[in-house]
Chain A
Amino acid sequence: DAGVIQSPRHEVTEMGQEVTLRCKPISGHNSLFWYRQTMMRGLELLIYFNNNVPIDDSGMPEDRFSAKMPNASFSTLKIQPSEPRDSAVYFCAGRAGQGNNEQFFGPGTRLTVL
């Protein structure tokens, strides 16, 4: 198993541009999480999906952020328009089931918005 796959690994864009981050969770993991990590705020949960349904998006900072999970093997996090303060490392993580709390993280996407 290749583990959680995220793409791109690095993204540099200019303010105002649309950014789309992608995640492929481990097969069979029916819970998916998007996190953002910065030096100032640490690791923050943005949104949680269970069985492809968004359950908790209270961590999504603004309407500029949106996330989708069209099927069990793919999720996207979109920022439109991007701003310099969105610069961070974005992680996708999966979990096998609600009775199992261990989360499996992807390698992250380092986003820089100029």
Chain B
Amino acid sequence: SQQGEEDPQALSIQEGENATMNCSYKTSINNLQWYRQNSGRGLVHLILIRSNEREKHSGRLRVTLDTSKKSSSLLITASRAADTASYFCATDARDSSYKLIFGSGTRLLVRP
């Protein structure tokens, strides 16, 4: 079964609004990553947050991690139509650092 489960499964917002996506996972992790996938393309790494970090920023992206709740959130501020994509969280298990387990993804539509 998948390590990460994301919600919502789909999100539709207006350009300029903020988008928040959530990810929950099951086992202890070393770090958690977020990836973006545009339609018909491969995944692109966005940001990595380590298990001892609580928050991280990169441009318009803000990621939080709550290891006690085994959850993470990705916030995209001031969204743009170009942000339309699927977003996946990925975790690596403490006992298997090479293996990334991907969540089911959130499909984000940003309406112009």
Q: Footprint of B on A, CB under 8 Å?
A: 4, 31, 42-43, 45, 48, 50, 55-56, 91, 93, 95, 98, 101-108
* Apart from A43-B102, A45-B100, A108-B41: 15 A-B pairs, beta carbons within 8 A: A31-B98, A42-B105, A45-B101, A48-B98, A56-B99, A91-B43, A93-B43, A101-B30, A101-B97, A101-B100, A102-B45, A102-B48, A105-B42, A107-B41, A108-B40
Docked Cα-Cα span, A107 to B98, in Å, equals 21
Describe B's contact surface by its main secondary structure: strand
Bin chain B's interface residue count.
20 to 34
Which 4 A-B pairs rank lowest in CB-CB distance, beginning with the nearest?
Answer: A105-B42, A43-B102, A105-B43, A102-B45
Q: A108 and B102: CB pair below 8 A?
A: no
* Closest chain A residue, CB of each to CB of B101: A45
B42 to chain A, nearest CB (A): 3
Q: B33 and A102: CB pair below 8 A?
A: yes
Q: B98 and A91: CB pair below 8 A?
A: no
Docked Cα-Cα span, A5 to B101, in Å, equals 23
A105 contacts which chain B residues (CB < 8 A)? 42-44
Docked Cα-Cα span, A65 to B32, in Å, equals 30
A-facing mask of B83-102, CB < 8 A → 1, else 0? 00000100010000111111
